[in-house]
Amino acid sequence: MGASMVEYNDHLYIFGGMPYNDTAPTNKIFLFSLKTREWQELTPAGEERPLGRMFHSAYIKNKEDTEKPTPEAMIVFGGMNCFQRIVTSSTELAVAALTWSNNAIEYQYAMEDIWWFDFAGNFWLEIKPMRTKRRGVCPPAEGVQGIKGAQTEHWSGMSLPMEPLPDDGLRRGGRGEL
């Protein structure tokens, strides 16, 4: 959820996002071949890497000294690496009591940094640092419960006991194959 994706040289580069059954965004970068339909997790060179993030922007940076557009890097901007659940509620008392509630996330940990991922060199470079470094641990997510058993790819933001999914042979949610 909230990952970015760019296409270069018949490959999709997918960066960041919230992995399934997890409570914090990742900083991993994956490569998907459009020709062979195979996944690969990239291991960028060097120690410098962006923080895990979701709901960020990414685009292709082309070389400036060529006549035709020639991609050289993926630029990643901003996003958020932590979030807190907020609940907005309203109760109206009239003939009958009506209650409305909404779950959302608060963007108190939004980032303003810019990162360069070099396609040829397979490395990250921080272009513009964050004004405030957020290198601490994110607060734990509230009310998140993993579902154990046959459907290990599912998670829920509900804290109530959940009923198992029906075993009808269908694959639900999670990582689907093409």
Write down the pLDDT at residue 77: 93
CATH 2.120.10.80 for the 4-141 domain, yes or no: yes
Q: What is the DSSP-derived secondary structure letter of residue 141?
A: P
Write down the pLDDT at residue 23: 76
Write down the pLDDT at residue 69: 82
Mean pLDDT of all residues in 162-166: 48
Whether the model clears a pTM of 0.75, i.e. scores above it, the answer is: no
**Maximum alpha-carbon separation in the chain:** 72
Mean pLDDT computed over every residue of the chain? 74
In 3D, which of 133, 79, 140, 82 has the Cα closest to residue 111?
79
**CATH 2.120.10.80, the chain: domain bounds:** 4-141
Cα separation, 29 vs 14, in Å, equals 6
**Using one digit for the tens of pLDDT, what is the confidence trace for 13-68?**
999 998 887 778 899 999 999 999 999 999 999 999 998 898 899 999 988 887 88
Show the CA angle centred on residue 157, arms to residues 154 and 159, nearest 5°: 110
